[in-house]
Amino acid sequence: MIIKIAKEFKWEMSHRLTFHKGPCKNIHGHTYRLLVEISGVPDENGMVMDYYDLEAIVNPLIMMLDHAFLCDENDRIMLDFLKANDFKHYVIPPTTTAENIARYILEYLLQYFQKYQNLKELMIRFQETEDVYAEISHKFA
C-alpha cells in the first residue's frame, strides 16, 4: 500500500529576473510556500516518514533562504553588491524563475530523501505568489 504525506513550509525571500522585460527585472520579494509531498510504503508503525524527520530535512534549506536575496549565479551586479554590503543571499544556477527554483529545491532535497528505502516519489510544489506555482517530482527506483 502506497500512502502520501505532505508538509508545507513558508518563508520570505527576494529575487529578480535579469532577462525580464517587465517589472520582474526589478528587485522584489514574495512570501514563498513549499509543499513537500512524499509517497511510500508505511513502516510497521504505519508511518511513511515521521513529520519531524521531514521537517529536519527541509528546514535547513528554508533557513538559508528565509529573508535572503536569491541570486542568479550570473548576476554580477547583484552578487557584487550583496557581497560588498554583507547582505544575506543564496546563489543558484540559471535564472531565479519559479521553475528553476523548484528544480533546484528538488535536486537539493533528493540527497536527503534517497536514503529512505520505502519512498516511491518526492514531489514539491513551489508557490511564488498566492495564485502561481511550479511543481516537479522524482520517482525513486
For 1-141, strand residue ranges (E) read 3-15, 28-40, 68-72, 89-92, 119-129, 132-139
β-pairing verdict for 28-40 and 3-15: antiparallel
pLDDT in tens, 16-40: 999 999 999 999 999 999 999 999 9
Catalytic residues: 24, 67, 128
- pLDDT score for 141: 86
**Average pLDDT value for the chain:** 97
3-139: CATH number: 3.30.479.10
pTM of the model: 0.95
- pLDDT score for 15: 98
